[in-house]
C-alpha cells in the first residue's frame, strides 16, 4: 500500500524539496499553500514527474485557521486514505528588525503562523496518525542563535517548535508515533529575498564551518530519514541541518 505524506507550506523552498523527494520515493503527497497557487501547481508538476501520476494534490490552507487545518487533513484522507507522516513546515519570517522596533501586528503575524499554526497542525496530526507513523516539525537554527538584530521574534517562535517536539514526542511515544524536528541553518531558498535580504545567503553561508549555505534538498533528505522506518528508534530529537553553524 502506498504511503501518504502531508506537508504544510509545501509549495516552495524546503517544503517543495521535501514534497518532490517523497514523490520520488513513491509516496502520495498532500501539500498545502496559503496564497501562491502558481507555485503550488509547479510543485505538483514536479512531484508528478518525480513520482506516480495522480499521487499529489495541493490545497489552500491557512494554518492559523483551525477549520482550514482540519479540512486539509480531511481532504488528504479522502484522497489517499490513511496518513503515514506529517511535515509541519508552514512558517513565515518578517523583515530584519530589532525587537525595540517591532510593532505588535508583525509579532502577532509571526507568532500566530509559526506557533499557533504549528500547534494546530501538530494537534490534528496527533488525532490522525497511528502506530508506526511520524511527525517532523521544521524549526530553525535561529532557535539556538536567537537572531539578534534580525528576527528575534522568528527565533522565539522556532524555540516553541523545539519545545513542542520534545513534549509531543513524550505524549505520542506510547502510541507508537514518533515526533522529531529539523533545525535548518542558512539554506538557499527564496525566504531571504521575500523579506528583502537576498544577500543574506552569500553573506552568512561562507561563515558556516562547512563554508557554504545549504540547499533545500539537503534538509529534505534529513526530513525523509526522520519520517522513514530507518529512524524507527528516533523520537524527541532535534536534528541540526546547519553546516555546523
The torsion angles phi and psi of 15, rounded to 5 degrees, stand at -60, -45
Distance CA 25, CA 27 (A): 6
Active-site residue 154, yes or no?
yes
Which positions ≥6 away from 34 have C-beta within 8 Å?
9, 60, 61, 62, 63, 90
Distance CA 49, CA 37 (A): 18
Q: Are strands 85-88 and 178-184 parallel, antiparallel or unpaired?
A: unpaired
The β-bridge partners of 226 are none
**Is the C-alpha dihedral spanning 207, 217, 96, 107 positive or negative?**
negative
Neighbours of 1 (CB within 10 A): 6
**Per annotation, catalytic residue among 119, 151, 154, 224:** 154
Q: Are strands 28-33 and 56-60 parallel, antiparallel or unpaired?
A: parallel
Distance CA 34, CA 41 (A): 13
Which positions ≥6 away from 164 have C-beta within 8 Å?
118, 119, 122, 137
Written as nine digits, the cell of 122 is 501538530
**Is the C-alpha dihedral spanning 103, 144, 217, 83 positive or negative?**
negative
How many residues would you count in the chain? 245
Catalytic positions are 154
Amino acid at each position: 500500500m502506498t504511503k501518504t505524506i502531508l506537508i504544510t507550506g509545501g509549495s516552495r523552498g524546503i517544503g517543495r524539496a521535501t514534497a518532490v523527494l517523497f514523490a520520488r520515493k513513491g509516496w502520495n503527497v498532500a501539500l498545502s499553500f496559503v496564497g501562491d497557487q502558481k507555485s503550488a501547481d509547479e510543485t505538483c508538476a514536479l512531484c508528478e514527474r518525480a513520482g506516480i501520476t495522480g499521487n499529489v494534490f495541493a490545497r489552500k490552507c491557512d494554518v492559523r485557521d483551525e477549520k482550514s487545518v482540519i479540512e486539509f487533513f480531511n481532504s488528504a484522507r479522502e484522497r489517499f486514505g490513511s496518513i503515514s507522516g506529517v511535515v509541519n513546515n508552514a512558517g513565515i519570517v518578517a523583515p530584519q528588525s530589532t525587537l525595540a522596533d517591532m510593532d505588535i501586528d508583525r509579532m502577532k503575524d509571526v507568532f500566530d503562523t509559526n506557533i499557533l499554526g504549528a500547534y494546530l497542525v501538530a494537534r490534528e496530526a496527533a488525532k490522525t496518525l497511528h502506530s508506526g507513523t511520524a511527525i517532523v516539525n521544521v524549526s530553525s537554527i535561529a532557535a539556538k542563535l536567537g537572531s539578534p538584530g534580525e528576527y528575534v521574534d522568528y527565533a522565539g517562535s522556532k524555540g516553541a517548535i523545539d519545545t513542542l517536539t520534545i513534549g509531543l514526542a513524550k505524549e505520542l511515544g506510547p502510541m507508537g508515533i514518533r515526533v522529531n524536528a529539523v533545525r535548518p541553518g542558512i539554506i538557499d531558498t527564496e525566504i531571504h529575498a521575500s523579506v528583502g535580504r537576498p544577500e543574506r545567503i552569500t553573506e552568512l553561508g561562507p561563515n558556516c564551518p562547512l563554508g557554504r549555505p545549504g540547499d533545500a534538498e539537503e534538509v529534505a533528505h534529513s526530513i525523509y530519514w526522520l519520517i522513514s522506518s530507518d529512524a524507527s528508534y528516533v523520537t524527541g530529537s532535534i536534528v541540526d541541518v546547519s553546516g555546523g553553524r
